[in-house]
Amino acid sequence: MALKNFAFNVLSKDKYARTGLIETQRGNINTPAFMPVGTQATVKACTIEDIKKTGSEIILGNTYHLMIRPGVERIQRVGGLHKFMNCDLPILTDSGGFQVMSLSKLNKIDREKGAIFNSHVDGKKYILSPEESIRVQLGLNSDIVMIMDECPKKTDNYELIKKSMELSLYWAKRSKEAFGSNPQKALFGIIQGGLFKDLRIESLNSLMKIDFDGYAIGGLAVGETQSQMFKVLDYIKDNLPNNKPRYLMGVGTPSDILGAVKRGVDMFDCVLPTRSGRTGLAFTWNGRINIKNNKYQNDDTPLDKNCKNLNLNKYSKNYLNHLFNTNEILGSMLLSLHNINFYQELMSTIRMKISNGTFDEFHDKYIDKL
């Protein structure tokens, strides 16, 4: 049987907010979609079976981490990342550019060679070029591949951001050439340009000329305010192609997601649900709860009495408080799953509200609450 080609269709719109369907050879993804982050071939403290039960339809892996440990050859030997981690969901892999900036002992950026850096694990020297990033991602056999870009640290230096954006465009062309013809997979371009309107639009227009299967907004979630992030999305929302998915990388809080959906974004990823889950922070429709707080020692109600999924409503705040105060692993597992489940409930509700034309009311009710 022939493998299904990558495709995307918009299904409904409510002003800029839109629902859509991404089709991949490993399954369909309803958008707006949230992708749990499985950086090192695992969504921390969760099994893939439970992740699927939350309604998640795609997860994210990371080139930087997987090329360092366990190494792409080890994953290739068993047939790719899906088989390695027993995951039949579609997988998007980030190119590694952000982690090179944020984690590694970076030696230098070379226009031709790429990023030359030492591993944050053992100090081993690596050279990550656009071609190598694509080679690794194709070796992982991911369904959505990201171009190699340079993600500069947060700065308001226009010339520095412009130079970085131009380098990312050069690497985008090389990434596209290295990717070749792969109709069953998708290659996404990454829009850079910091907080500057002209650079963001120049980056987008240049990427559209190269022609990608989707467009990501990069260089955000690096310390800017929410209003600054929304302003960048406002700059480009009228220029983005309607027939391609739009992905806001590394974002974010439920409030961030609501505001970005209002500006036409289709895809999100963030470590927040699982990282918060491991530290005792729960997301709920009534706001955030720090389950370590002593007031929950006498609260025998669940985090969400209406959540029947995964039996999460069977565990009281009293019990969860005990698990965290005794450093029991089960606490991290339950709260991570609760948070991912909440995020997927949020996305499902967003899609429903867009479809029936009531997204603005929903946005206004929850934007400052979540």
Label residue 345 by pLDDT band (50, 70, 90).
very high
Q: Is 355 within a domain?
A: no
| CA atoms of 341 and 44, how far apart (whole Å) | 14
Is 94 among the residues known to form the active site?
A: yes
More confident residue, 8 or 101: 8
- Of the candidates 50, 149, 213, 269, the residue annotated as catalytic is 269
Number of domains in the chain: 1
pLDDT of res. 70: 97
In DSSP terms, 144 is beta-bridged to 92, 186
3-state secondary structure of 188: strand
pLDDT of res. 105: 63
Average pLDDT over residues 32-58: 97
Is 234 among the residues known to form the active site?
A: no
76 contacts 134 by C-beta, under 8 angstroms: no
Please classify residue 266 by burial: count the beta carbons closer than 10 Å to its beta carbon, then call 0-12 exposed, 13-18 middle and 19+ buried: buried
Whether pTM exceeds 0.75: yes
Q: What is the pLDDT of residues 105-122, one digit of tens each?
A: 667 889 999 988 888 888
Range of the structural domain that residue 232 is part of: 8-273
Q: What is the CATH number of the domain that holds 151?
A: 3.20.20.105
Among 254-258, 307-311, 323-327, where is mean pLDDT lowest?
307-311
Closest CA to 130 of 73, 191, 63, 196: 63
Strand pairing of 114-118 and 105-110?
antiparallel
pLDDT of res. 104: 59
Q: What is the pLDDT of residues 194-222, one digit of tens each?
A: 999 999 999 999 999 999 999 999 999 88
pLDDT of res. 106: 66
Q: Is the pLDDT of residue 74 over 80?
A: yes
Average pLDDT over residues 81-87: 98
In DSSP terms, 191 is beta-bridged to 217
Q: Is 146 within a domain?
A: yes
Of the chain, the percentage scoring pLDDT greater than 70 comes to 98
Average pLDDT over residues 54-62: 97
Q: Which amino acid is at 237?
A: K
- Of the candidates 14, 50, 94, 304, the residue annotated as catalytic is 94
Question: CA distances (Å), 283 to each of 16, 291, 336, in order?
Answer: 26, 10, 10
Q: Is the pLDDT of residue 249 over 80?
A: yes
Q: Is 93 within a domain?
A: yes
Q: Is 289 within a domain?
A: no
Average pLDDT over residues 296-305: 96
DSSP string, 122-147: T--EEEE-HHHHHHHHHHHT-SEEEP
Q: Is 110 within a domain?
A: yes
Q: Is 295 within a domain?
A: no
pLDDT of res. 108: 84
**Sheet with strand 125-128: strands edge to edge:** 105-110, 114-118, 125-128
Q: Is 313 within a domain?
A: no
Q: Is 211 within a domain?
A: yes
Label residue 96 by pLDDT band (50, 70, 90).
confident
pLDDT of res. 151: 83
pLDDT of res. 133: 95
Phi, psi (deg, nearest 5) at residue 14: -135, 95
| Total number of residues shown for the chain | 370
Please classify residue 159 by burial: count the beta carbons closer than 10 Å to its beta carbon, then call 0-12 exposed, 13-18 middle and 19+ buried: exposed
Question: CA distances (Å), 341 to each of 3, 21, 223, 269, 347, in order?
Answer: 30, 20, 26, 14, 10
| CA atoms of 106 and 117, how far apart (whole Å) | 4
3-state secondary structure of 166: helix
**Average pLDDT score, the chain:** 95
Average pLDDT over residues 300-314: 93
Q: What is the pLDDT of residues 250-279, one digit of tens each?
A: 999 999 999 999 999 999 999 999 999 999
Label residue 153 by pLDDT band (50, 70, 90).
confident
pLDDT of res. 10: 98
